[in-house]
Structures are given as structure tokens and as C-alpha cells.
């Protein structure tokens, strides 16, 4: 078991939310100021909701969302039983900015998130939950903790293809000039999230605004950076850490659950590969899309509770 680093820099007050968001995100929030690495001094904003001595659950978002994504899942979990920790990646939500697209590397995000995870006072081993890039990142954080008691994966991939190519979305993100214009000036893809849902109305109106709000013009390097973090060849810089993450989860002996939206046009089809790789996992198939937290939060909360029960 690894020892957690001591918390030498305490949490700081979280940034305020605009009034339209405060009602939708009532969970307790905090912020931590990084004390090492290239992003020293920047803050990691996060939800920290529930009894501090309860079972920790780390919920990690991916591209191009933020901790708001988990609000409905957290609302369905007993705060006396679960302490839900949902951080914003640097460049997303209310965490510190990364101005350049090239700043968004898997190693750099892992360094920041591992420091954040190591400085949380976790009374018990954590359940790791991730969606999209949040899957590998949650597992990467778990590797830095003394132990993990369970894992829930939702529309993500923790398996590295032999010949990484990425989807058409990721190929487009590597198109010179055009992708910069569309992502950084046009606000793509956060302005069309409903199109990858089973029910397009699940991300519309005020919810759609909540996902666009943290990424105004001048703060849009993140979505393009995370899209380019997806390996496009075996020599891509994300491949070595992803292979370490894959090796770790393949050796993981605790309870594992897969919750999937099969109408996801991005990652819906990779479920079968994960089912085959992790035959011990419980599998929940739904007709949700990519951001299944907006469509089937009950199923994700149920999986977390099931993993917690099997991990005791």
C-alpha cells in the first residue's frame, strides 16, 4: 500500500457559481491549490459532498464537460454512506486554465489529478468512476492511491488498440487550422452535446447552457486538447501512460461494473471489447447516449452502490 502525501496546502474557497447554476448544483464544493509540477498555484475545483468519513467515490468527467455532469448521480447517493468527490480537470469547469492546446497531455493531467487525489483525506479506499477521458484518468488517480475498492466505467475506454486511430471526431480534431477555428472559435463540441445523446432533449436549454458556460471564447483550448490526446498512432505520447493504466486495471481484483449507453455514436461499440476483457464485471446496458449521466443517473448510482457492497 502507498502512503498518501500530507496535505501541506489546505483547500481554498471555491469560485462562485452564477445564479442559474447555483440551483442546479447544490452539492458542497471546494478547491485545492496545486503545490508542485508545471501547474503549481493553479486550483482544482471539485464537488466534495457527503460525510468526510464515508466511503469515498471519485467521479471523473471527460471531454468537454465538468463536475456538473455528475450532479444527478451524486444526488441519488446517500451522503451518510458516500463521500462524492468530483474534480474539474485543468482547463475545464472552474479549475485553473491551460491556455495552449499543447498543454493538454495525459501525463500533465495525471500529475495534477494525482496530487489532488493524494491530498484528499480518504478514510477508506475509494471507488473510482469515470466517463469518456474520465475513465483512464480515474484509473490513473487510483494508481497513486493506497488502494481502490471498486471501479465503475461508463462510456469510456481503458483498453489501448493495437493500431490506435481514433474516431472521425478525433481525426477531425487533428486537421490543421480548420479544427482550431471550429473548436476554439465555434465552441465545438460543447454546443452540440445533445446530438450524441439517446434523447437529444436530455442536454438542452439550461443544461446545455451549463456545459457551455465554463468555456467562453479565450478558454477553449481544453476540448481540442483532449480530442488530440486520443492516440492517433502507436507512437502517440498518450500511449505509454495508457498502457500502464490498462495493465493496472487488468490486474485489479476488486469489483468492477460497466454501465453503458449503447446509443453513443462515439464509444457505444467498445462495450463488447470491455465485456470480453473484464468477464468479472457486472454489465448494465441502456439506450442512453454518450453523456449517460444526463439520461440514466439511477443506473450509475445503482452500480456504485453494488460495487460498494461487493467491495466490503
What is the structure's pLDDT at 124? 82
- Model confidence over 234-271: pLDDT tens digits? 999 999 999 999 999 999 999 999 999 999 999 999 99
Question: What's the whole-number mean pLDDT along residues 138-143?
Answer: 96
- Entry pTM: 0.95
- The dotted CATH code for 11-310 is 3.40.50.1820
Domain boundaries, the chain: 11-310
- Model confidence over 195-211: pLDDT tens digits? 999 999 999 999 999 99
- Model confidence over 74-108: pLDDT tens digits? 999 999 999 999 999 999 999 999 999 999 999 99
Please state the three-class secondary structure of the chain as a single string. CCCCCCCCCCEECCCCCCHHHHCCCCCCEEEEECCCCCCCCCEEEEEEECCCCCEEEEEECCCCCCHHHHHHHHHCCCCCCEEEEEECCCCCCCCCCCCCHHHCCHHHHHHHHHHHHHCCCCCCCEEEEEEECHHHHHHHHHCCCCCEEEEEEEEECCCCCCCCCCCHHHHHHCCCCHHHHHHHHCCCCHHHHHHHCCCHHHCCHHHHHHHHCCCCCCCCHHHHHHHHHCCCCCCCCCHHHHHHHHHHHHHCCCCEEEEEECCCCCCHHHHHHHHHHCCCCEEEEECCCCCHHHCCHHHHHHHHHHHHHHCC
Amino acid at each position: 500500500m502507498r502512503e498518501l502525501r500530507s496535505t501541506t496546502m489546505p483547500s481554498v474557497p471555491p469560485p462562485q457559481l452564477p445564479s442559474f447554476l447555483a440551483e442546479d448544483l447544490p452539492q458542497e464544493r471546494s478547491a485545492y491549490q496545486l503545490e508542485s509540477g508545471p501547474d503549481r498555484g493553479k486550483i482544482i475545483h471539485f464537488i466534495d459532498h457527503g460525510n468526510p468519513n464515508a466511503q469515498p467515490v471519485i467521479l471523473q468527467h471527460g471531454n468537454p464537460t465538468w463536475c456538473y455532469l455528475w450532479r444527478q448521480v451524486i444526488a441519488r447517493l446517500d451522503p451518510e454512506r458516500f463521500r462524492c468527490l468530483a474534480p474539474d480537470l485543468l482547463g475545464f469547469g472552474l479549475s485553473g486554465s491551460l491556455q495552449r492546446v499543447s498543454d493538454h497531455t495525459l501525463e500533465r493531467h495525471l500529475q495534477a489529478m494525482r496530487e489532488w487525489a493524494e491530498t484528499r483525506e480518504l478514510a477508506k479506499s475509494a471507488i473510482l468512476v469515470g466517463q469518456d477521458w474520465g475513465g483512464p484518468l480515474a484509473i490513473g488517480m487510483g494508481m497513486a492511491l493506497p488502494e481502490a475498492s471498486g471501479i465503475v466505467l461508463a462510456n469510456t475506454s481503458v483498453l489501448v488498440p493495437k493500431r490506435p486511430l481514433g474516431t472521425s471526431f478525433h481525426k477531425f480534431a487533428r486537421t490543421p487550422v480548420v479544427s482550431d477555428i471550429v473548436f476554439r472559435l465555434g465552441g465545438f463540441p460543447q454546443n452540440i452535446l445533445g446530438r450524441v445523446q439517446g434523447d437529444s432533449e436530455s442536454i438542452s436549454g439550461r443544461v446545455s447552457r451549463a456545459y457551455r458556460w465554463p468555456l467562453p471564447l479565450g478558454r477553449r483550448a481544453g476540448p481540442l486538447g483532449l480530442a488530440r490526446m486520443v492516440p492517433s498512432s502507436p507512437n502517440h505520447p498518450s500511449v505509454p501512460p495508457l498502457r500502464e493504466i490498462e495493465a493496472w486495471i487488468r490486474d485489479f481484483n476488486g469489483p468492477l461494473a460497466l454501465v453503458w449507453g449503447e446509443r453513443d455514436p462515439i464509444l457505444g461499440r467498445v462495450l463488447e471489447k470491455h465485456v470480453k476483457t473484464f468477464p468479472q464485471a457486472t454489465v448494465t446496458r441502456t439506450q442512453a447516449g454518450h453523456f449517460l449521466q444526463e439520461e440514466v443517473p439511477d443506473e450509475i448510482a445503482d452500480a456504485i452502490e453494488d460495487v460498494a457492497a461487493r467491495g466490503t
